[in-house]
Amino acid sequence: MRRLPPVLIEDGCSRELVSLIRTILAACKEISFRVGQGALSGVLGSTLDENIQGETQKKLDVLSNQLLKDILLESGYVKAIASEEEDYTVAGNPDADFIVAFDPLDGSSNTDINSLVGTIFSIMQAPKDSDPADPAIFMQPGHKQVAAGYVLYGPSTTLALSTGKGTRIFTLDKTHGSFLLTEDFAKIPEDTKEFAINASNQRHWQPAMKNYIQDLLAGDTGPRGKNFNMRWIAAMVGDVHRVLCRGGLFTYPADTKNPEKPYKLRLMYEANPMAMLVEQAGGLAHTGEERIMDIQPNDIHQRVAVILGSKNEVEACLAYHK
Ligand code: FDP
């Protein structure tokens, strides 16, 4: 099986980009170890703090953030970082070429129940001669990402990675510490009979999403003429991994539960990197109004509606939004 660095070099990635990706993965290997230790490492449960988005931080959120932050800033490969767990961007090496946005531990409500969690990252080029302390350097649409990926801490530790030449899946060989290529060019089937949504929010959805889901639930006697199955892992990283492996539609739509927060998922370190992985595997990623990777960001913690997955099913869902 092939190791990650030669695969990236063959794809034409610069030495700096390969080194940056390896740096992120070094932190992820340690997170994988800590997550795998569970209660033994004393890191389950919550802290007494909230992040800037008003969410209580889990101990593993804080630990994973610190690991990634320290290793990235020490490496010299990043001009600045943005993280779900940092209020503001953090400046790094002024001469570096890249900026990284990350969710250190996605799905952290799953940590205490030994269920799926993961790290999501997005790498972009830093604008030339830019100020590392200026958050504006992150305000680039997702189609400018030079690489995107996630590491899923499940029964095995799995990396999905795209540098713009397809989406590849690697599996961590925990004995030797290498990510080995286990699926070249993942391909999301265009059709599916599976969808993922937090159905408890149904009464708060907009009519388009209500009507779409209602038609899926109507099964083979409804307008779609087939039966659908539903899955919800409550960690985007786990739900998107299933979509990459066998297709499906994943959505976290707009809702009116909290009028000040109509969307749940964050653009810079959740929606954009997942959109790149999904589109590079032949799927689609949309908000219902526009392609996710075409959104011009205005805040590092900005939130968006997300509808992604199997091409024909996303298009079917979008038809309800027209
Ligand atoms: P979490 O807050 O636990 O990190 O990032 C947001 C997210 O998880 C997604 O990973 C997941 O899809 C969603 O929230 C789960 O939301 P619900 O609590 O509504 O199920």
Record the pTM.
0.97
Q: Looking at the domain assignment, is residue 213 inside a domain?
A: yes
pLDDT in tens, the chain (322 residues): 999 999 999 999 999 999 999 999 999 999 999 999 999 988 888 887 777 777 778 899 999 999 999 999 999 999 999 999 999 999 999 999 999 999 999 998 899 999 999 999 999 999 999 999 999 999 999 999 999 999 999 999 999 999 999 999 999 999 999 999 999 999 999 999 999 999 999 999 999 999 999 999 999 999 999 999 999 999 999 999 999 999 999 999 999 999 899 999 999 999 999 999 999 999 999 999 999 999 999 999 999 999 999 999 999 999 999 8
d(CA 291, CA 87) in angstroms, rounded, equals: 27
The residue whose C-alpha atom lies closest to atom 1 belonging to ligand 1 is 107
Ligand 1 nearest atom to the CA of residue 103, by list position: 5
Task: Tell me how far apart the alpha carbons of residues 1 and 18 are, in angstroms, rounded to a whole number.
Answer: 19
Of the candidates 167, 220, 214, which has an alpha carbon nearest to the alpha carbon of residue 193? 220
The amino acid at residue 43 is V
Ligand 1 atom at minimum distance from 237 CA:
10
| Total structural domains within the chain | 2
Q: Where are the beta strands (DSSP E) in 154-223?
A: 157-162, 167-173, 178-183, 194-196
Pocket around ligand 1: residues whose beta carbon is below 6 Å from it?
A: 106-109, 198, 234-236, 252, 264-265, 270
Q: Are residues 160 and 208 in the same domain?
A: no
189: in domain: no
Tell me whether residue 110 is in a domain.
Answer: yes
Same domain? For 18 and 99 the reply is yes
Last residue of a domain, one of 145, 164, 183: 183
Amino acid type, 93: N
Q: Are residues 210 and 301 in the same domain?
A: yes
Note whether 133 and 225 are same-domain residues. no
Mutation to probe ligand 1, out of 195, 252, 301 (largest number of atoms < 8 A from CB): 252
Residues making up the annotated binding site are: 84, 103, 105-109, 198, 264, 270
| Ligand 1 atom with the shortest distance to the CA of 105 | 4
Among 183, 214, 245, the domain boundary falls at 183
Q: Which atom of ligand 1 is nearest to the CA of 264?
A: 6
- Judge if 216 and 303 occupy the same domain: yes
CA of 33 to the centre of ligand 1 (A): 22
Q: In the chain, which ranges are E strands?
A: 46-50, 56-58, 78-83, 90-91, 98-106, 117-125, 145-153, 157-162, 167-173, 178-183, 194-196, 229-230, 249-252, 265-266, 284-286, 303-304, 306-309
Q: Which of 183, 218, 251 lies at the terminal end of a domain, its last residue?
A: 183
CATH number of the domain enclosing 295 = 3.40.190.80
Check whether residue 158 and residue 307 sit in a common domain: no
Where is the binding site for Mg(2+), in residues?
Answer: 84, 103, 105-106, 270
Residue 66: CATH number of its domain? 3.30.540.10
Same domain, 177 and 214: no
- Do 222 and 274 share a structural domain? yes
Which is the closest atom of ligand 1 to the Cα of 235?
A: 10
> 220 — phi, psi (to 5°)?
-70, -10
* Centre of ligand 1 from the C-alpha of residue 191, in Å: 25
Distance 11 CA to ligand 1 centre (A): 33
Query: CB of 49 within 8 A of CB of 56?
Result: yes
* First vs last C-alpha separation in the chain: 46
Does one domain contain both 148 and 206? no
208-245 as b/e: b if 16+ CB within 10 A: bbeebbebbeeeeeeebeeebeeeebebbbbbbbbbbb
Judge if 24 and 126 occupy the same domain: yes
Q: Do 173 and 56 share a domain, yes or no? A: yes
Same domain, 62 and 173: yes
Strand partners, 286: 291, 307
Range of the domain at 56: 4-183
Distance 252 CA to ligand 1 centre (A): 9
What are 27-84's pLDDT values in tens digits?
999 999 999 999 998 888 888 777 777 777 889 999 999 999 999 999 999 999 999 9
Question: Is 111 contained in some domain?
Answer: yes
Bridge pairing between strands 78-83 and 56-58: unpaired
Spatial separation of the C-alpha atoms in residues 207 and 187, rounded to whole Å: 31
- Name the closest-CA residue to atom 4, ligand 1: 107
Task: Examine residue 188 and state whether it is found in any structural domain, yes or no.
Answer: no
Quickly list DSSP for 14-43.
-HHHHHHHHHHHHHHHHHHHHHHHGGGGT-
